[in-house]
Structure 1
């Protein structure tokens, strides 16, 4: 059986992918120049490891292979095997991920897989004997086994090189040295953990087989990984794109433009995925059923697959969706970034921007007025490492719960990284930006209540089976102006908006002039926001805050944002104030917010590139007039067997574990009524959405405005009922009071 996705063209050459390429055009002279500029740029920012480090990695892999061979012989002898069988016993190390793809950078982890025979168990032998062997070696530090993970892994450093080691227990008595794990037969009679562990290597190898030019693929993928990290959309666990997701997206672009260089591939990456109608899947090859009966991704037959919003399907059997973590909120963020990248690449083609503009860091802490801050602590470094891994795996639940319990009206933007307050021992914290769903009309006095949502999330986190005293989690609200200083470089809070150069301003002017009309027609988000834009935005926010308190007239909103939903419903930017949810003392804060400017892009560092000569003969095959043809080709690609796939708005399988806790919430509802009755709240008068929150703050920071007294049903309904259809006309409240909820729960228990 040949490689799926490989077929013959009329000219006798093989093509890759499940469709014909969009363009067979080769590179122009301008492509050659800009590709060299890109490669030089990537080298300049330190994305390539030194020769010394590369040799060090090879030595570590060699030593690790020796260690597992000694390990399997030791356990074979310990199980009573005769000496001949002991000598024949073997284990083997494979690599996958960024190292196997050839796109790893300095200090990156090495993803490795240990393949062992059927008599070498995972729990007793791998996490028992092998862990003991490694713990006794001086070269090994920071050994951290995670046997209960979805894909069990042993993490450690070997001579300073970070290693993630998985284990696959095959149904073989002897592991041959020339073992080919790409064969389907390797999956016979193995457990689920082995299938998952083998999947990384099998997918990586298949990707390299399904791209037309490996070196071009590697340069493009290295570029897109850097872009995703700079723009804050590189984190599979947070609901964004991980390494394998980006590899599959880039590989598909390489199939669609098989003769293009990285410069053109980067541009087409954004052009294609800006137009992609999610949840249509991205696939490198046809999904094959296989002969082993393992489940594969198929929304027509598997109900759970219908809830996936951004399916990117792995090419190796059993084919799976690699982006099941994506939520509606994170998909919105990524769609915005695809649009921004497409606009900048068009500007680069017109020699009005350079690579600096594309890689400008995303100004996360300047983009929202309201954030959730999730702090975690533990008693020692080992406990914190375990607690951190568990909490990070659950953070996506918080986004899902908020989306679900507010009927999708409140959207979260999780920051993909963590921060530490050096003044607090064994501490990490995470942030999520909050904003109202775009394009939804604002009703008078509208509020959201996510107190019980957050309490529910904390309950699920605290159910950690390896929980130890000192492992704590605290969720609170923080406004943009009160972001802790330790999250900023050097621990110094910027006195004003991010500084931008003259080139940044020039890029902003480019948006207003060169792309202004296009953005009006598309409602598009711009390439960047310069310093003047940020200042005007903040002034307008302050003016609107003041005017909303003294006037009943509605405040005009910014222009509509570009479309991100599959149904292409226009989306307008609108955000309300959202406030605290967790604290020791609770004081009411009532605000009338007229809305929030959308998450902006700080000014770009793009400078005007000099005009480069273009070969008219080469360029004639792929000039700008072919954009419409490309659009039609993309539409054709998405008209395959899954064109009718419509993602459902929720993922109940992700929230099934909440059922037991919801029963506890019902018991808590009665006590909540007594709490809410004690609140003396004034009716709101502003016509803009009122966001009333009970939050931890000093008296000087609290406003005196109030709102109507809430019935207990208003507090609990969003958590106890599931909407039968998309967002109803009347939406729930965002009213946050963490302390009173905890006290009520304690009393009820």
Structure 2
């Protein structure tokens, strides 16, 4: 367990805001499992070839020469004398997965162009440099996004995907040995430059704050692959993106500085299964800095108190990198952490392999009800722009549904899009829908989300670059009606006979792995000699024990039927609207008045009604920290079987202390008050016939002034107290956004004072 005086590559300085949980080195078992993990990742095709690596380096070198040529041309055009023109310089930096060394074949390269103060972003970067790139035959798919939260120019250079950002420093000349990790580069720069520089500064800081870079890289590569297989890798959908996963893995490396990747992966799930969100994950203390830039501080900024899963960047100005996470997506991720933890415990008994951990998540088998969002455009270029815009707004649909149903209807967005090849310039997205666990499915009680869907369409329709043909269609479909094009090869897979445990923690029982996992999770490490049992009794009894132990967290085994011959409902015409209302027994979609679909019930078992959470606000100066409340689903405690060792109990206690105390969270509706601000700040709206589009564009903050039909606030059945049958509404019908009055956020006093030093001491004592 932790002890003072960590001696690592950072000159003996402690890495992290607390001491490590364990200094233990690898065992022979860890060496073997780490070797197996690296082979598994290599066999999965996650490493690029040497030829591709050389090609990327050549592209970056040529790109650096292009920007140097560009800045000289800009300087000459602005009237600088020839000496200053020759001294003018711009420089290329990399960040993200490429800089971290965890990129795979075909991955894009996140790059940053740093230029001097006289080279502007709006004219020189997005116009002059754009013109240069357009004229180059090796540059293809050039797509500038100047209105994005972080302005970017996307293109392919000799087949290598590039995302190019621009940072305009306050220097007249950019030195070739510029160190952008120094805070002074942020002096007198605009907000877009701060954001653009943040990617490089955070990436470099992560590499400085991990004790073993190679173990960090292998573990991060593993977790990125796991997150993609389990459907929780997508920042835009409300899950976590590359930088978020890097920060989470880096924190585990700090807590177990001498561990190999196999142990780091296991401890990743063990720690974050117990983590008490919304306590923040930090790699270093938050510092105010000397430039007066705002940093993440829930005590000062009310919006920071609403973040459900804070993961704080380590470079000044420290920010929450995971502000997109909602209560629904956090619920999904915590259940996946729980599943990963249980499988890793089985693997520690050497009774499962890495394939079990990386089983793809069966998204289209878990829920009974889905929303399907279809979008179309006139051509490929329009579809790419439209698709980016819609993607950037999908998270708002999740938030709106949560808000308007008071958190009783939960959404699970699929992070990927799908395309029906039989339809030109088309793609669609899916969301799983379920009633919150613990909410009684009273017959006749309904969740009417038709107005919510219209509101979502209204926000999407504010795309300022909307063109005719850009259309959107939202429809409710049942599991049996999922279109075939979402399945690999267009073939619906056979459904498992039994689905074990929570709705999201689904494990198929295989005859060989069932016996192994049940022995581990039941904690039966002694007293049973399997060889003395009869074969038939052995099989039956252990299968029963396995099912009981795996499902102990939720206490329920869901029976599912086998193969059926089911009708398939394809996407409807994009110009028509589907209105949705979910009842206690079904979900009405363009149904005749009074008609209902049967069989809507929860498939997941996460009850957040009694969750207890806290935001532990770190001290910026090493002093005491004050607590503030947030909103989060409950985190299940670390599972302990009959054979759990004392060392594991001590580790559990240390994790609980590091993850912070638990306090009551604020009301659910307050989490979504940001929607009020978003719509109240809009100044321009485009009226359209059912179309919407997107990229991460700030132009979405313009408000619509639509003359004519205005729709007042719609009362749900929960608000009015009785059930109203509403007639189907056309998706293309005019809709003027009117949101219900937001619940005011009451002023709260700090609920707890807790110093990080006390956490470290408590952790040390627990050993």
- Do structure 1's residue 630 and structure 2's residue 673 form an aligned pair? no
Whether contact under 8 Å (1:310, 1:326) holds in the other structure is yes
Partner in structure 2 of residue 598 of structure 1:
604
- Displacement of 1:320 in angstroms is 0.4
Distance 2:425 2:713 in 1: 35
Distance 1:58 1:587, change over 3 A: farther
Whether contact under 8 Å (1:279, 1:309) holds in the other structure is yes
Whether contact under 8 Å (1:280, 1:645) holds in the other structure is no
Partner in structure 2 of residue 617 of structure 1:
none
Partner in structure 2 of residue 239 of structure 1:
238
Whether contact under 8 Å (2:583, 2:596) holds in the other structure is no
Whether contact under 8 Å (1:370, 1:434) holds in the other structure is yes
Corresponding residue SS for 2:79: coil
Distance 1:736 1:153 in 2: 44
Whether contact under 8 Å (2:594, 2:725) holds in the other structure is no
- Displacement of 1:597 in angstroms is 3.4
Match of 1:537 among 560, 573, 576: 560
Corresponding residue SS for 1:494: coil
Structure 2 unaligned blocks of 5 or more: 500-506, 523-544, 566-581, 607-643, 686-710, 739-767
Corresponding residue SS for 2:257: coil
Structure 1: 4+ residue segments shifted above 6 A: 498-503, 517-523, 539-542, 728-736
- Displacement of 1:438 in angstroms is 1.2
* Paired residues for 1:500-579 under 5 Å: 504-510=510-516, 514-515=520-521, 536-538=559-561, 578-579=586-587
- Displacement of 1:468 in angstroms is 1.0
Partner in structure 1 of residue 113 of structure 2:
114
Superposed CA deviations along residues 381-421 of structure 1, whole A, max 9, x for unmatched, are 11111111111010000000000000000000000000011
Whether contact under 8 Å (2:349, 2:520) holds in the other structure is no
Partner in structure 2 of residue 300 of structure 1:
299
Distance 1:245 1:624 in 2: 32
Corresponding residue SS for 1:295: coil
- Do structure 1's residue 413 and structure 2's residue 421 form an aligned pair? no
Whether contact under 8 Å (1:31, 1:261) holds in the other structure is yes
Whether contact under 8 Å (1:368, 1:599) holds in the other structure is no
Partner in structure 1 of residue 272 of structure 2:
273
Distance 1:144 1:577, change over 3 A: farther
- Displacement of 1:351 in angstroms is 1.4
Corresponding residue SS for 1:54: helix
Distance 1:415 1:114, change over 3 A: same
Count of residue pairs the alignment pairs up: 625
- Displacement of 1:745 in angstroms is 5.2
- Do structure 1's residue 717 and structure 2's residue 738 form an aligned pair? no
Corresponding residue SS for 1:165: strand
Corresponding residue SS for 2:163: strand
Distance 1:732 1:311, change over 3 A: farther
Whether contact under 8 Å (1:576, 1:596) holds in the other structure is no
Whether contact under 8 Å (1:579, 1:736) holds in the other structure is no
Superposed CA deviations along residues 4-33 of structure 1, whole A, max 9, x for unmatched, are xxx954998332101010001000000000
Distance 2:511 2:726 in 1: 40
Distance 1:425 1:586 in 2: 32
Corresponding residue SS for 2:176: coil
Distance 2:96 2:725 in 1: 43
Distance 1:71 1:468 in 2: 33
- Displacement of 1:495 in angstroms is 5.2
Distance 1:466 1:498 in 2: 48
- Displacement of 1:465 in angstroms is 1.0
- Displacement of 1:466 in angstroms is 1.1
- Displacement of 1:631 in angstroms is 1.6
- Displacement of 1:89 in angstroms is 0.5
Partner in structure 2 of residue 367 of structure 1:
366
Distance 1:325 1:470 in 2: 29
Whether contact under 8 Å (1:210, 1:284) holds in the other structure is yes
Distance 2:230 2:205 in 1: 28
Whether contact under 8 Å (2:26, 2:259) holds in the other structure is yes
Distance 1:575 1:541 in 2: 25
- Displacement of 1:537 in angstroms is 1.8
Corresponding residue SS for 1:412: strand
TM-score normalised over the length of structure 2: 0.76
- Do structure 1's residue 739 and structure 2's residue 747 form an aligned pair? no
Distance 1:734 1:475 in 2: 22
